[in-house]
Amino acid sequence: MNTLLLTIIFFLLAGYAGLALLYFVTIRPRLRCLQSMQLQASTPPSSGSAAPEPLTVDGNHDDAAAQNESLPQQALQQALQRSLNEWWHTFDAVIDPILILDTDLTIVKGNRAAVQLLSVDGSGIIEGEKCYQLFAGTEMPCPQCPIRTICGEIKTHKHEVSHRYIGRTLSVSCVPIISDDQIVGFVHSAKDVSHQRNLEKRLVHASKLEAISTLAGGIAHDFNNILGAILGNADLLLYRLPIQKVGDNPFGGPPITFEEIADHIQAIKRAGNRAKDLVGQILAFSRQTTNQRRNLMIAPVVKEVCRLLRSSFPATIELKVAVAQDIGMISADPGQIQQVLMNLCTNAAQALENEIGVIEVSLREIETGRAEQLRYNDLAPGKYVVLTVQDTGGGIPPETLERIFDPFFTTKEVGEGSGLGLAVIHGIIVSHDGVIDVKSELGKGTVFTVFFPRVQEVAGKDDEIVSLPRGTETILFVDDEEDIVKMRTGMLSYLGYRMLPATSPEQALNYFTKGQEHIDLLITDHTMPRMTGLQLATRVNAMHPGLPIILCSGYSEAVTPEEAQKAGVRRFLAKPVDMRLLATAIRDVLPNKDRGVQ
């Protein structure tokens, strides 16, 4: 499907370039020549002036003009008119918007599709307007405008862009028009791919729904283990804390030491961090937004997904995991990497006859050489992180192997599968600049190999709670959970801050309306009854513009950056908030002491 789409786009771009060349090479010089002949026929040339020189593309149309002068003027006019009409009919027949721009990005010509897309009523005049005014509604060129790249490299540039102003996602191509080794304009074509991108999002989401039942068992198993660790360590602390009265110790053993208390607390924190990571994986997996790539350590992601899958698979399926040491980073969306591995392992489990067999997952690094490039045609030279999923199932027949990445192709019975899984996986891997390969042998099993380009590692920060930044400012902390308010205010009081607790937005607003407190910072939860944290921030920002605000939420996509900035939010923190991260964020938004409002 991707190859066919790229082929269609290639031919369309070739057609656009041909139309532009037809106009500038054939029609426009003839029109110039005709104008020159008409001017010469009506006004004799003066002795001190030369005839006007026509605008050409290659500067070699003087011979053509001389030949045309020998033709009868009426026949020449008819020929030029026919050529012009043919060019306009062809130009307008193209269903994708095409613009001819000058070097200032002013529209010189636009076909019918461009007029329908960019004019107010679909039939207005767009010539003379700036392209960025019509596409983006701005007074400056778009940040992603390819013109600078084209001017520097003088070659065709293609990219995809979403314009909120017109509500479209466009696959844009821009070709320079060159005359006498100088760029004199651009041919700008835009193919509307909004429908395709929406379909892709729906396909990805449908694939996630297919795999969610597999994920659910592992999540429940892991959460029970996490809760067991938290509750067990809490019980030990309660049982072994120093007794107040003789005979009140039900444990019956010696009092607990400070080292043991520290061990239990560290165990509780480790379990809490595991729960936090698990919730993050659930949110990432269920997310329906676009690709959100970042530098990612893929090894922990692979281990975590395999641990969830091992809890979900029946005991008759053996899952072997081999992760090499010192695996580097890749540029990837964590949720989509989880989805790739989960779908590959789920397919491998379904391929095992009677759910009996072995699935092997391995992760390693390679540097591609001549042998890899010959075997994998799309693999560029460089370092890669290689993910392999191998099963001992019955294998895939050759006629089926050729179609496994086709959308909606499935060998399952009706109602048992949509045929979306491998097609979506292929799309995800390609969007990550990766390559996927499959080898299968009947009776022996199947091996899927995925190559992700390795990226340069960035040194991480130490998670230990040492040398936390302190302060003496007054902080208003708002959350509808009383236990969280008590815990956070106690934590920040330990760091030297004067804390004002509030368990509702209304209580928080009272601090400001009464005007009895000097408040330097507002920290608020987002999801609260009757009023969200964003609404509270908006009202506080209206009363005290410039007051620093930190917004906390368990779901990062609940608030867009534009909404947060408009409400005066300086920093967004995902819950549960780490103590070091919170202490650092406070100092980031409060760089100067004694800054606040009365």
How do residues 446-466 score in pLDDT, each as one tens digit?
A: 999 999 999 876 544 444 444
Query: Rg of the chain over CA atoms, in angstroms?
Result: 33
Which residues in the chain are classed under CATH 3.30.450.20?
2-192
Question: Strand, helix or coil at 549?
Answer: strand
Residue 313 CA from chain centroid, whole number: 31
Closest CA to 339 of 447, 437, 432, 223: 432
Residues in the chain: 598
- 413 or 340, higher pLDDT: 340
Residue 408 CA from chain centroid, whole number: 25
How do residues 59-98 score in pLDDT, each as one tens digit?
A: 444 555 555 555 567 777 777 888 877 877 888 888 888 8
pLDDT value of residue 520: 92
Question: Strand, helix or coil at 476?
Answer: strand
Q: What is the pTM of this model?
A: 0.45
Nearest 10 degrees: CA dihedral of 205, 206, 210, 213? 50
DSSP classification of residue 180: T
Which residues in the chain are classed under CATH 3.30.565.10?
199-455
pLDDT value of residue 503: 92
- 369 or 529, higher pLDDT: 529
Residue % of the chain over a pLDDT of 70: 68
pLDDT value of residue 46: 37
Angle of CA points 112, 116, 122, to nearest 5°? 125
Residue appearing with tokens 């095409």: 98
What integer best gives the mean pLDDT of the chain?
Answer: 75
**CATH number for the domain formed by residue range(s) 474-589:** 3.40.50.2300
- 576 or 68, higher pLDDT: 576
Region 4-9: mean pLDDT is 56
Instruction: Kindly give, in sequence order, each residue whose CB lies less than 8 Å from that of residue 304, ignoring residues fewer than 6 positions away.
Output: 277, 281
Fold of the 199-455 domain:
Heat Shock Protein 90 (3.30.565)
How do residues 90-113 score in pLDDT, each as one tens digit?
A: 888 888 888 888 888 888 888 888
Please check the confidence at residue 556 and state whether its pLDDT lies above 70.
no
Please check the confidence at residue 373 and state whether its pLDDT lies above 90.
no
Most confidently predicted of 219-233, 372-386, 427-441 = 427-441
pLDDT value of residue 464: 44
pLDDT value of residue 389: 94
Q: Which H or E run contains 294? A: strand 294-297
Residue appearing with tokens 């698990």: 278
How do residues 277-336 score in pLDDT, each as one tens digit?
A: 666 656 655 554 445 678 888 998 898 888 888 877 888 899 999 999 889 899 988 878
pLDDT value of residue 58: 47
Residue pair 407/419 in contact (Cβ under 8 Å)? The answer is: yes
Residue % of the chain over a pLDDT of 90: 15
Please check the confidence at residue 415 and state whether its pLDDT lies above 60.
no
Closest CA to 164 of 144, 184, 187, 189: 144
Q: How far apart are CA 285 and CA 442, in angstroms?
A: 33
Which two three-digit tokens encode residue 100? 């001819």
pLDDT value of residue 399: 79
Helices (H), 474-555: 482-494, 505-514, 533-543
Q: How far apart are CA 452 and CA 388, in angstroms?
A: 11
Q: Which CATH entry fits the domain spanning 2-192: 3.40.50.300, 3.40.1710.10, 3.30.450.20, 3.40.50.720?
A: 3.30.450.20
